[in-house]
Every structure is written in C-alpha cells, then in structure tokens.
Amino acid sequence: MTKAAYLLPVVAAALVDADGRVLLQQRPEGRSLAGLWEFPGGKVEPGETPEAALIRELEEELAITVPQACLAPAAFASAPLDDRHLLLLLYITRKWTGVPRALEASALRWVRPADMHDLPMPPADRPLIGLLDALL
C-alpha cells in the first residue's frame, strides 16, 4: 500500500528594508538543514492560521512584531523533506516593530534577491528567489 503524502505546512517572511534588501537567517548547528540561509519562519501548528503562525514565529525567532494587515502572501514552493513534503508559503512585509535579533539563528544577513543565488539555501526557499526578485 502506498503511504499517504504528508504535507508539512511552513510559513516564512521576506522582511524587506528601505533599500530592497531581504532578511535571511542562518539555521543553527544541531537543527535540520544546519548552516543554510532561510527566510525566517516555521511550522504552522494544528489549529493555527498561517498568518498567526508567522506572527508567532517572527516574535520567537527575531523579537519583532508584524501587524497581520502588513503580511502580503506572495509565493509558495514545495520540496521533499524526509518522508514528508514541505509546503512553504512566503509572505512579503515591509513594516514591523522592533529591530530583528537572532534569537534562534546563528546569524542574520540583509541580502538583495539577486545576491541570494550565491548562498546555500534550503530546497523550498531557493525557488522563491526569482519570484521575490520580480516582485520587489
């Protein structure tokens, strides 16, 4: 019997600064995909809306507050992950409160989409670079 596909919903943010650069964070040692540069975000927990999950993740990971009205869904991509399939939904935001701090990541970096091609990124994040470049 074929195992049912198991989708893992993940949300992430492209935080865009006044110069059109986007915040990436480096996944820490000891976690899956360690060392790779990702759009900040994480899993949508059962019962959570994607927007609520993203607001929670951005507070937990970066200590910033993003008003829900400032989250614009922009693009999605998917990638196999172990025996599951990760579905990554990317939101663009240009407005938040607080200065991003790396509470969970090993480093933060502001990067133009055109320069992201040179960075190692998780498989679901990589296809979003071109879309982001076209949108910003």
Q: How far is the CB of 134 from ligand DCM (least distance, A)?
A: 19
Would you give the binding string for ligand DCM spanning residues 63-102, x where CB under 6 A is met?
A: ------------------x----x-x--------------
Select 41 or 118, whichever has its Cβ closest to ligand DCM.
41
Q: Which stretch binds ligand DCM (CB under 6 A): 44-52, 65-73, 107-115, 117-125?
A: 117-125
Select 1 or 13, whichever has its Cβ closest to ligand DCM.
13
Select 60 or 115, whichever has its Cβ closest to ligand DCM.
60
What residue has token string 């409160």?
97
**Which of 76, 92, 83 minimizes the C-alpha distance to 9?**
76
Q: How far is the CB of 44 from ligand DCM (least distance, A)?
A: 10
Instruction: Report angle CA 107, 100, 134 to the nearest 5 degrees.
Output: 85
Does residue 41 interact with ligand DCM by CB under 6 A? yes
CA dihedral 48, 126, 74, 77 (to 10 degrees): -60
What are the φ and ψ backbone dihedral angles of 55, each rounded to 5 degrees?
-60, -45
Q: Residues 44-53: contacts with CB within 8 Å, 24+ apart?
A: 44/9, 44/10, 44/11, 50/9, 50/11, 50/89, 51/11, 51/91, 53/11
Interface residues with ligand DCM (CB under 6 A) are 10, 12, 31-33, 38-39, 41-43, 81, 86, 88, 122, 124-125
